[in-house]
Structure 1
Amino acid sequence: MNGTSFIVAPGTDFSLAKRPTRIDPFCTSKDEYRKLFRHHVKCLDTHQRLQYAANCQAILLIFQAMDAAGKDGAIRHVLSGVNPQGCQVFSYQHPSATESQHDFLWRTTCDLPERGRVGIFNRSYYEEVLIVRVHPELLQAQALAEPMVDADAFWKQRYLSIINHEHHLHANGTRVIKIFLHLSKDEQRKRFLNRIDDPTKNWKFTASDMTERGFWDNYQAAYEACIAATSTPESPWYVVPADHKKTARLIVSQILLYTFDSLDLHYPTTSAERQQELVAIRRTLDI
C-alpha cells in the first residue's frame, strides 16, 4: 500500500460515483491498526526531521471534502508525532471583506509552507471552484473586473489559474498533494446524527451543515469537474475512501510517506573546513 492506487490519472475519464467510499480494512484488529499506524507516524517524524535538516523542499498537503468527512481527525492523527516546528496547519472559512478584494489565490499564498516544512490546508483555494460554483452568488462579493458571462469559460480559466499556480510551486520546491476524502451521503447522515446525539460534539454541528447537505448532488458534480480538470502528474489528486476513518487515515499517512520517499532527501554534507572546526571545538570540550 503506497496510496498510488487512489490517484486520479490526468486526462482520463473520472467519475466519483465509480470511486468507492469504503474499502476492506487493511487491518483485522484494533491492535494491528495501532501498531501499523504508530509505525507510519514514527516514519513520518523521521522523514520530516530529514526534510527540516535538508531545508530544500516543502510539502503542501491539501484536504478537501464534504462536511463530516474527517479532515480534522486525519490531520490530527496523521501528524500527531511530527515536530510542530516542521508542520503548519491552516483552515479556511468564508473569505473576509479584505480577502474578497484580492484574486482568489491571494489569501492562501501567504500561508504556503517554507522549505523544510509540511504545510496543511484544511480547505483551500479550491473552495473558489467548489462552494462558489455551487453558490455562484458568492462571486458578487468579489467585485470581479470581468463578471461571469460564459460559465464554462469562467471555471476553465480558474482551473487553469490553479494548475499554473501549482506548477509554479512545484518548480520552486513545493510538492503539492491534494486529498479528497470521499464520503458517502449515508455515512454523512450517521455522523451528523452522532454530532447531534453526543453533547461533546454538538459544537461541530450547525444549521448550515444541513443546508449544504441539500446541495449534495451539486457538490459532487463540482468536485468531479474540479478533480478531473486539476489533477496533474506533478500535483495529483488522491480520492481516499472516507467512510471508515481509520482506513482513511492509514491511506493518507501512506500517501505522505510515499511523497517523502520520492523527494530523495539527504542530510547536509559537512565540508572539510567545517569538520576541522568541529574537531577543534571537541578538543576544547574534552579539556
Structure 2
Amino acid sequence: ELQHDFLWRTTCRLPERGRIGIFNRSYYEEVLVVKVHPEILVSQGLSEKLHDEKKIWDDRYRSIVDMEDHLHRNDTRIIKFYLHLSQEEQQKRFVERIDAPDKNWKLSISDIQERKEWQKYMQAYEECFSATSTNQTPWFIVPADDKENARLIVSQIILEAFNELHLTFPKTTAQHEQELKSIRKQLSKDK
C-alpha cells in the first residue's frame, strides 16, 4: 500500500456505475489523522520534495477535489457526511461502551489518546471542509449528539440524492416480453 499514492487504497475499491459504495473516512484520513500526526508522513516513504507541510495538504486537497470532480463528471455521485459529536457526547458514549459488555470492543486506549487532540482535529476538519466542499460534492455537517435525528437527517439527504437521479427500472424488450409469456406458460403447467 505504501508504494501507491494516498488515493489508491480507496480508488481501487470504488463501486462501478449503478452500484453504491460506503466509505468510512476513506482518503480523508490522509488529510485528517495524518495532519494531526504528521510523523505518519515520514513512515509513508514520500520523497523529500513532498515534505513541505503547508504544500502537501494543499496538494492533497486539490487531488481529492480533482478526483471527486472527475468521478462526478463520470456519473458517480458522492455524498460526504461528517457526523459531529460534541466532546461531552463523545465522553458519554465512551463511558457507555465501558459499561456495556457488548460494546467493550468499540473502545480502546487509542481512542482516549486521540481525544486529547480534539482541538487539532477540529482545526483539521475545518480546513478540510473548506478546501474540499464543492457544488458537486458538498460536505453535510450533521449534528450527531442525538443519534435518532442524525440518522433522519442523513436518510433524508440520501433520499433526496436518489430522487435527483430519477431512477427507473430497465425497460423490457419485445423479445423479453415474449420470453416472459413463455415462462408464464411453463409455470402454469407445473401446477
3-state SS of 1:212 partner: helix
Match of 1:234 among 113, 133, 136: 136
Matched length: 189
Aligned mates of 1:251, 1:113 — CA distance in 2: 24
Larger Rg: 2
For the structure 1 residues 202 and 279, does the alpha-carbon distance in structure 2 shift closer, same or farther, using more than 3 Å as the test? closer
Match of 1:114 among 16, 20, 28: 16
1:190 matched to 2:92: yes
3-state SS of 1:120 partner: coil
Instruction: Compute the TM-score of the two structures, normalised by the length of structure 2.
Output: 0.91
Aligned mates of 1:268, 1:190 — CA distance in 2: 48
Structure 1 residue 267 displacement after superposition: 1.0
Aligned mates of 1:150, 1:107 — CA distance in 2: 23
Unmatched runs of 5 consecutive residues or more in structure 1: 1-98
Which has more strand, going by share of residues?
1
Matches within 5 A, 1:43-82: none
Aligned mates of 1:130, 1:108 — CA distance in 2: 15
3-state SS of 1:276 partner: helix
Aligned mates of 1:285, 1:200 — CA distance in 2: 48
**What is the letter of the counterpart of residue 102 of structure 2?**
T
**What is the letter of the counterpart of residue 142 of structure 1?**
Q
Match of 1:223 among 116, 119, 125: 125
Aligned mates of 1:193, 1:286 — CA distance in 2: 61
- Runs (4+) of structure 1 moved beyond 6 Å? none
Which has more helix, going by share of residues?
2
Instruction: Compute the TM-score of the two structures, normalised by the length of structure 1.
Output: 0.62
Matches within 5 A, 1:62-141: 99-141=1-43
Aligned residue in 2 for 1:95: none
**What is the letter of the counterpart of residue 35 of structure 2?**
R
1:250 matched to 2:161: no
Match of 1:143 among 38, 45, 64: 45
Aligned mates of 2:188, 2:91 — CA distance in 1: 66
**Larger deviation: 187-196 or 143-152?**
143-152
3-state SS of 1:115 partner: coil
Identity %: 59
Aligned mates of 1:284, 1:148 — CA distance in 2: 67
Aligned residue in 2 for 1:25: none
Aligned mates of 1:201, 1:147 — CA distance in 2: 44
Structure 1 residue 143 displacement after superposition: 1.1
Structure 1 residue 286 displacement after superposition: 4.6
Unmatched runs of 5 consecutive residues or more in structure 2: none
Aligned residue in 2 for 1:170: 72
**CA RMSD of the aligned region, Å?**
1.7
Aligned mates of 2:174, 2:48 — CA distance in 1: 59
Aligned mates of 2:177, 2:101 — CA distance in 1: 60
